[in-house]
Amino acid sequence: MSFRSRMTGLAASLALALAACGGDDGGAGPSNPDTRLDVTNNSSVSVWLVFVRSCGTQSWGNDLLGADIISPGLGQSFVVTPGCHDVKLMTNPDVNAQVTWTNVNFPSGQIVEKVVTAWNPVE
């Protein structure tokens, strides 16, 4: 088998493996890169965590920001799967506040914009 044939087979195997990767029920994923959540922080406190979950599920899944934060006056965009999702933003533990939007519809190929201006205490 030639080197080119092996590389083509390896690339095809990798593509199949990546395509088979399902997400958790967090709602973030590569199904349509044009379906996005745009978060703008118009508050005085940085966003430390961003979670998305499918409507009707309990688990928030992984933080979409990773090591990043969204400083006041800035924004960030996230690819999400089309459909109904809940969105939760959280501050750092010292502030201990959050904002949650429930039953947000993400139409395929569309951008949904969410702006945080104030925070609610975490209970």
102: domain CATH number is 2.60.40.2890
Question: How do residues 69-118 score in pLDDT, each as one tens digit?
Answer: 999 999 999 999 999 999 999 999 999 999 999 999 999 999 999 999 99
Q: Is residue 13 part of a domain?
A: no
Residue 87's domain comprises: 24-121
28 backbone dihedrals φ, ψ, rounded to 5° = -95, 135
Per-residue model confidence (pLDDT) at position 123: 79
- Cα(22)–Cα(115) distance, rounded to whole angstroms? 29
pLDDT band, residue 21 (cuts 50/70/90): very low
Q: How far apart are CA 53 and CA 26, in angstroms?
A: 4
Q: What was the pLDDT predicted at 2? A: 42
Strand partners, 87: 52, 101
65, part of any domain: yes
79 in a structural domain: yes
Q: Is 80 helix (H, G, I), strand (E, B) or coil?
A: strand
Confidence of residue 33 (pLDDT cuts 50, 70, 90): confident
The pTM of the whole model exceeds 0.85: no
